[in-house]
Amino acid sequence: MIGRQLGNRYEILEQLGGGGMAIVYKGRDTFLNRLVTIKVLRPEFSSDKEFTRRFRREAQAVASLSHPNIVSIYDVGQEDGIQYLVMEYVDGEDLKTVIRREGALPPDKAVQIACQVLEALEHAHENNIVHRDIKPHNILITKSGRAKLTDFGIAREATAATVTQADTIVGSVHYLSPEQARGEVAAPQSDIYSLGVVLYEMLTGSVPFTGDNPISVAIKHIQEEPEPPSRRNPAVPPALEQVVLRAMQKNSHLRFATAREMARHLEDLLFQDGEEATRFIPLDDMATRVLKPAEWSGEKGMRRRKLRPAGWVALAVLLMALLAGGALALNSYLKGPPAVNVPLVVNMKLSDAQALLAQYGLQTAVRKEHHPQVPEGYVIAQDIGPQDAPVKPPRVITLTVSLGPDLRVVPDLYRLSLEEARIRLTEKGLVLAETVQKGYDDNVPPNLIFQQSPAAGERVAPNSRVTVYLSLGPKPRQSEVPDLTGLTREQARARLAESNLSLDENVQWVESTDYFQNQVVSQDPPGGTMVNQGTSVKVTLSKGPGPIPKEARVKVPVPNDGQVHQIKIVVTDVRGTSVAYVNSHEPGDTVETTVRYYGSATIQVYVDNRLVKQKSLQEGKNDDDN
């Protein structure tokens, strides 16, 4: 690609890097004679409509944004099957490279970078764009120190029309918000969580969660609390640590409501009034602050003016009036409304609880959380109750209100492998039961799930265990093993195939005077046994020399009824069944013939195909009286 010109305008100069989906090049806009960044979709994805759609989505997402901390999109095009984006060229390096080289960054530098990214996010969120992949790799730092956010490849419009990809984890796992790890819709607070992780890494030089595989890291985002940054880097001030941990709250409602709010808290920590390089103050906006009184300066300021006696009198009167007014106000406050005992509102509906407290002149603040037993909208707890000392109206009473049970919808695991099921359950905050059941199923291939408990669609508590049943394939059907004795090897194979059985090719050979060479002497399992279809039957074949031939004299009187009759003699012995004699005879004739047989035999006589006589001959006996 080096040296190629795309769109008859953009010349590719060198490769800057690449990801799993695209390759990034440094290029030159020959029309405007300026450097640009060209992102080219990898060839293996160019024909994939999903990847192409996602690639173009980045251009559409960023095209609606215009901010100095967001890398601009200049152009988008397609040429000879090549999909490409043309973006602003940033002369610098990504934040991940900076952290790898420098380790933990000074707090003031980390805060300044975070503030710039928050400004970019605030602009994106105001335009209903959620980035969904905030990580140091996507934050570029120019040589002048400006931070620029890039790679909106998996951004989504945060509107009611957003399509949820609930079954897919998107984003980089080390910076993934808990709701993204569960496969839920990413909101602006998801970007705030991810930036909290980035700020954590800037301050400590390491990500908060690591694991042996992506799934284990995702589970930690859902279940584990991060180690406070100050434990890894004692230089992190407490106030800054509070900002990081608030941004990384598992419950998105407990994080900063907007990127602007988080930026405001960080800005309060930056250098002010020529004091130390970074001054940190409590996050509480109502906390006490030091105010510097105005000074009276000599010649450089206002000159002090001496008061005349009359002025002193007026000043004294004014001070007395102020003191009197203050005393009256203090007395009025001290008398004020009488203190009241706060009524118990636990287990009451929120609206009823607020109405009751209002009757006592009390105000309410509400925080919400899930509760396994208390119905949604009912009060779980109150910070001040009847057991506490009386309070003066209008005191604010904080009520904790139930969101109802924190239930998760069990996903459909039908026809999934165990690993796929484990991932799907982890995304939903559920656990695959260690004991895996197995059974036969006619419709599901082996080693795939054909049944689960609880069933798909049921709502259960987080971390509930789901038992799955793996298919062993269709339940085997059974067949009766045929008697193969006396059959040749090929005949035995054909006979077994008729019963959906097979011949074990590992045969044994024995000498036999009862069976000819290549005939079955014995078998395992024996004939008449019921076995699963597909079972192999072992046989023992004769090496010979086989039985000695015997002869039997057969005499058949032909009925004397004036009709011509057909006489047929059939012999069944170790060779099988064969016709020894067949002919037509006049009425009253007598047929006499000699029949040869081997081993034990059965001789049958038919007149006009009707059996009229049958006799069994045992091995070793001659019979001349048939």
- 3-state secondary structure (DSSP) of residue 11: strand
- Burial level of 146, CB count in 10 A (0-12/13-18/19+)? middle
Cα-based distances in Å from 163 to 93, 166, 180 = 34, 9, 14
**Tokens, residue 212:** 């042996």
Beta strands in 411-532 (DSSP E): 431-432, 437-439, 449-453, 459-460, 465-471, 478-480, 502-503, 508-512, 520-524, 530-532
Peptide bond into 526 cis (omega under 30): no
CA-to-CA distance for 94 and 150, rounded, in angstroms? Answer: 10
Give the active site residue among 133, 191, 573, 623. Answer: 133
CA-to-CA distance for 138 and 430, rounded, in angstroms? Answer: 31
Residue 602: alpha-carbon gap to chain centroid: 72
**Tokens, residue 54:** 């996602």
**Tokens, residue 208:** 């908060």
Strands 156-157 and 129-130: antiparallel
Listed residue (169, 177, 251) closest to 215, CA to CA: 169
DSSP state of 137: G
* Cα end-to-end span (Å), the chain: 98
* Sequence-separated (6 or more) residues with CB below 8 Å from residue 468: 413, 418, 421, 432, 433, 436, 437, 449, 451, 452
How many CB atoms sit inside 10 A of residue 490's CB? 10
**Which residues are bridge partners to 524 per DSSP?**
538
CA-to-CA distance for 539 and 489, rounded, in angstroms? Answer: 9
Residue 170: alpha-carbon gap to chain centroid: 10
H-helix or E-strand spanning residue 600:
none
DSSP-assigned letters across all residues of 66-130: --TTBPPEEEEEEETTEEEEEEE---EEEHHHHHHHH-SPPHHHHHHHHHHHHHHHHHHHHTTEE
Question: What is the residue type of 116?
Answer: Q
Cα-based distances in Å from 211 to 82, 90, 156, 221, 493 = 37, 33, 28, 11, 56
DSSP state of 416: -
How many CB atoms sit inside 10 A of residue 524's CB? 13
Write a three-state SS string for 249-302: CCCHHHCCCCHHHHHHHHHCCCCCCCCCCCCCCCCCCCCCCCCCCCCCCCCCCC
* Sequence-separated (6 or more) residues with CB below 8 Å from residue 332: none
406 flagged as catalytic: no
Up-side HSE of residue 410: CA atoms within 13 Å toward CB?
A: 21
Listed residue (386, 462, 443, 582) closest to 182, CA to CA: 462
CA-to-CA distance for 574 and 618, rounded, in angstroms? Answer: 12
How many CB atoms sit inside 10 A of residue 624's CB? 10
Which residues form the catalytic set?
133
